[in-house]
Amino acid sequence: MKAVFIVFSQTNTERIEYMLDRLEIRGFTFWEEVQGCGTIKGEPHRGTHTWPEMNSAMLVMVEDEKVPELLQAVKKLSIRFNDVGARAFVWNIEASI
């Protein structure tokens, strides 16, 4: 099993939820307001007058075989909506209860 941490602009929330539904991925934790700045071309998302946008994040638990499909879907979303972007990071899950 893997944990996939997905960070995305709040404007993409419905798209991310649709993507998870389409991929039949149910196990996730959602954070609605996450501050940060992307490392490549990102501008700060801080919820302030200067940087008003905010990010959201999800920690998604998936079986190993679903990871490539999920990453590909996030990549397509990021390319299609390049101005707001999305990123995904994968961790191994050693054990769970």
Strand partners, 59: 5, 29
**Predicted local distance difference test score (pLDDT) of residue 21:** 96
**Can you list the domains of the chain with their CATH numbers?**
2-28+52-92 (3.30.70.120)
Tell me the pLDDT tens digit for each residue of 46-84. 777 787 788 899 999 999 999 999 999 999 998 888 777
Tokens encoding 64: 């190993």
* 49/68 Cα distance (integer angstroms): 38
Q: What share of the chain is helix, strand, coil (3-state, %, to 5)?
A: 30, 35, 35
- pLDDT higher than threshold 90 for residue 28: yes
**Predicted local distance difference test score (pLDDT) of residue 54:** 85
At 7, the pLDDT band (50, 70, 90 cuts) reads: very high
| Global confidence as pTM | 0.88
